[in-house]
Structure 1
Amino acid sequence: MKSLLNLCILIAAISLCNATPDFKNCRNSKANQLQPGDVTISACSKTKCILKRNTNASISMKFTPNRDFEDVNTDAQGILLDVPLPFPGYYGTSACPFIYDAEGENKVGCPLKAGETYVYKNSFKILPVYPTVSLTVHWGLNDKNGDAACFEIPVKIRA
């Protein structure tokens, strides 16, 4: 009985480590809608997303573009009081080196084909200069004609 209880606790802990609270698909985006389970951020639990300064967090996003993309860039911003603030070192950089096959095992890069499933995997630093605030993180993959994938999630940055 005790081993069964330990197993249940272990399974619950693993599921919490791989959970991400509800995110929203970006407004005005023509990209295919992401579904629950498509986005995982390592610093998030099932109920909240707390990013601790001076640490790294990883992101995984499974998506299926609705058109071909020759190249995609990362659109990573913090939105504070309705003001978008680009994340230095990520905003506007190529996302191609972080694109994997549908299983997330083999790097495939760009171009991306409409209707094929890909996984974007990256990590990002929570810089010590970031203020300790609650904000919305906007994370998208796009080109000059629109989004391949995009979501927003509320987070709290802590010291």
Structure 2
Amino acid sequence: MKSLALFAALLVLGECAITYKDCGSVAGKITGITVSNCTTSPCQLKKGGNYTVNVTFATKEASDNAFAYVKGILDGIAVPFPLPNPDACMDPNSQIKCPLKNNQTYLYSATLPVSKEYPDVKVVVKWELQDAKTNGNDLFCFETPIVVVG
């Protein structure tokens, strides 16, 4: 019953729990991902829109740092997508307060603008939050398909 209530609340807020594949979360475990203004998976991201990605994850080790990296994968080629503030510890909007403690659950948030210059395209997004202290182990890593639409 709790799951149904949560699902209904997310739909009212215009969010959807997206379909994703874990791609190597070594130092953490993803427990949920939502995207604002997305009501289906794969998300259809409209050009000129802003989308907030929320990732809930549990840590498997302590970490002093957390840096986000996003890539678009099209036909097997990964193209980096620069984030406005990749340092999650320094970004006040990320919801992350460092240092991260072992065996704790955190919510990471980032808002991405979708440029009007992007082509209409289906692409796989790869999103990593890495701990620089532990040689770049992924606190989380996920891949999810998206569709950019006009």
Indicate the TM-score class for this superposition, using the shorter chain for normalisation: 0.7 to 0.9
Match of 2:26 among 12, 21, 30: 30
2:148 corresponds to:
157
Within 5 Å, give how 1:40-79 maps onto structure 2.
40-79=34-73
Match of 1:94 among 87, 111, 118: 87
1:119 corresponds to:
107
Paired residues, number: 138
Q: Closer, same or farther in 2 for the Cα pair 1:49/1:152, shift >3 Å?
A: same
Per-residue CA distance 1:79-118 (angstroms, 9 max, x = gap): 111111111234x820112443xxxxxxx52111111111
Q: Closer, same or farther in 2 for the Cα pair 1:147/1:13, shift >3 Å?
A: closer
Tell me by how many angstroms 1:45 deviates.
Answer: 1.9
Q: Closer, same or farther in 2 for the Cα pair 1:129/1:64, shift >3 Å?
A: same
Does the 8 Å contact 2:11/2:39 carry over to 1? no
> How much is the aligned-residue C-alpha RMSD, in angstroms?
2.2
Residue 116 of structure 2 aligns to a residue whose secondary structure is: coil
2:116 corresponds to:
128
Q: Closer, same or farther in 2 for the Cα pair 1:83/1:123, shift >3 Å?
A: same
1:19 corresponds to:
16
Residue 51 of structure 1 aligns to a residue whose secondary structure is: strand
Task: Give the unaligned 5+ runs of structure 2.
Answer: 1-7
Match of 1:110 among 98, 104, 120: 98
Q: Closer, same or farther in 2 for the Cα pair 1:158/1:118, shift >3 Å?
A: same
Residue 14 of structure 1 aligns to a residue whose secondary structure is: helix
Residue 119 of structure 2 aligns to a residue whose secondary structure is: coil
Tell me by how many angstroms 1:15 deviates.
Answer: 5.2
Tell me by how many angstroms 1:74 deviates.
Answer: 0.6
The code of the aligned residue for 2:15 comes to: N
Tell me by how many angstroms 1:140 deviates.
Answer: 1.5
The code of the aligned residue for 2:30 comes to: L
Within 5 Å, give how 1:1-12 maps onto structure 2.
11=8
- Relative to its length, the structure with more strand (as a share) is 2
Residue 19 of structure 1 aligns to a residue whose secondary structure is: strand
Larger radius of gyration: 1
Q: Closer, same or farther in 2 for the Cα pair 1:43/1:80, shift >3 Å?
A: farther
What is the TM-score normalised by the length of structure 2?
Answer: 0.80
